[in-house]
Structure 1
Amino acid sequence: MDYSTDYTTHAEAIVELFASTFTASEGAEEGALIGALVRRLIAETPAEGLRVFTAWEDGTLVGVIFFTRLTYEGVPRIVFMMAPVAVATVRQGKGIGQRLINHGLGALRQEGVDIAVTYGDPAFYGRVGFKPVSEADLPAPQPLQQPQGWSAQPLTDAPLTPLRGPTRCVAAFDDPALW
């Protein structure tokens, strides 16, 4: 598997991968919502607030992961949120997602990011080191519809300590429908 951080060249393929993957698993409405989110993330998020990792096999895009910056007022720690994540429907169940996540987390670790958070299936994300956290210890930027899906992991030797809000996310994620 080959990894890349070049997302602008392949923006339309990335949007299509998310739209089709989420349509297949969650329905057309969710596919359209996540496709639109990905389009906004690519078009509107400043480079300092966005990391994108793509996975390729034999020249075919098979997976994509986004990390976007979260800021906690008065807290100097660097926090990125991992979301959304997609693996081509026909390629799921082969470990691509876990390898891509580990690759992305390793890159963030190398650049000195302190904490990675995500919002999704705790059983899946627990396999790559995420542990459930409470909103009291690590506030989300919007109220969570499924608080059990809020997870985090430290990427440095510093402990995962309580952070206080208010919390800000990138503009594309500042929509209660996504939380």
Structure 2
Amino acid sequence: MEFTSPGSDRVGELTELFRTSFAASEGEAEGEAIARLVSRLSRAIDAERLFCFGAEEDDALVAAIFFSELVFAADVRVFMLAPVAVLRPFQRRGIGKDLIRFGLGVMQQRGVEIAVTYGDPAFYGKVGFLPLAESSLRAPMPLSMPQGWLGQSLTGEAIPTLIDRPSCVAAFEDPHFW
């Protein structure tokens, strides 16, 4: 398994990976919604505000994750991990967790102070994410499942209180994803 940084030249492959993965677990409609999101994210990968990391086996992309910047009024570097997908035949082998750890390491090296995500606390807890109260670190939009708002410090320092609503990349400016 090799970890890579797929760029915007792999929009089709990334989109299909997420469509297939989410359709299998969440249904066709969610697969299509996530595919549209990933198509938009993939076209905007710039290795400054938006990063993508992938896991490849025999030159085929089998898992991918995105990190996108959340901009708060305070001078704190915060990136959101979302979405995350692993093709079904490659699930339950630790690939997703290893890819997330890899991505977090790269983000830490790039000076990111806080990583957040919005998902299953049981899964993301395995890679160091802890529940966040929206009163201490707000999401870009109101959350439909506040228990899924999670974060971790990449510096070892406590996560500061950030009560202003951050801006996010354009692809996430849709209440459907929150």
TM range (shorter): over 0.9
Residue identity matched to 2:147: Q
Is the 2:140–2:166 contact (alpha carbons within 8 Å) kept by the matching residues of 1?
A: yes
Is the 1:45–1:170 contact (alpha carbons within 8 Å) kept by the matching residues of 2?
A: no
Q: Percent identity?
A: 49
Give how far 1:126 is off: 0.2
- C-alpha separation between the residues in 1 aligned to 2:129 and 2:6? 26
2:90 matches 1:91: yes
Residue 64 of structure 1 corresponds to: 64
Is the 1:109–1:155 contact (alpha carbons within 8 Å) kept by the matching residues of 2?
A: yes
Alignment of 1:1-179 (within 5 A): 1-44=1-44, 46-73=46-73, 75-179=74-178
- C-alpha separation between the residues in 1 aligned to 2:45 and 2:95? 26
- C-alpha separation between the residues in 1 aligned to 2:128 and 2:141? 23
Give how far 1:37 is off: 0.1
- C-alpha separation between the residues in 1 aligned to 2:96 and 2:42? 20
For residue 137 of structure 2, give the secondary structure of its aligned residue in structure 1: coil
Is the 1:18–1:34 contact (alpha carbons within 8 Å) kept by the matching residues of 2?
A: yes
Report the TM-score when normalising by structure 2. Answer: 0.96
- Residue by residue, what CA displacement relative to the aligned partner does 1:124-164 show, whole Å, maximum 9, x if unpaired? 00000000001000000101000000000000133212112
Is the 2:2–2:57 contact (alpha carbons within 8 Å) kept by the matching residues of 1?
A: yes
Is the 1:71–1:167 contact (alpha carbons within 8 Å) kept by the matching residues of 2?
A: yes
Identify unmatched segments of 5+ residues in structure 2: none
Give how far 1:167 is off: 1.2
For residue 166 of structure 1, give the secondary structure of its aligned residue in structure 2: coil
- Residue by residue, what CA displacement relative to the aligned partner does 1:93-150 show, whole Å, maximum 9, x if unpaired? 1000000000000000111100000000000000000000010000001010000000
Report the TM-score when normalising by structure 1. Answer: 0.96
Give how far 1:57 is off: 1.2
- C-alpha separation between the residues in 1 aligned to 2:27 and 2:87? 15
Give how far 1:47 is off: 4.2
Residue identity matched to 2:65: I
Query: Over aligned residue pairs, what C-alpha RMSD do you find?
Result: 1.1
Give how far 1:62 is off: 1.0
Change (3 A) 1:5 1:46: closer
Residue identity matched to 1:52: C
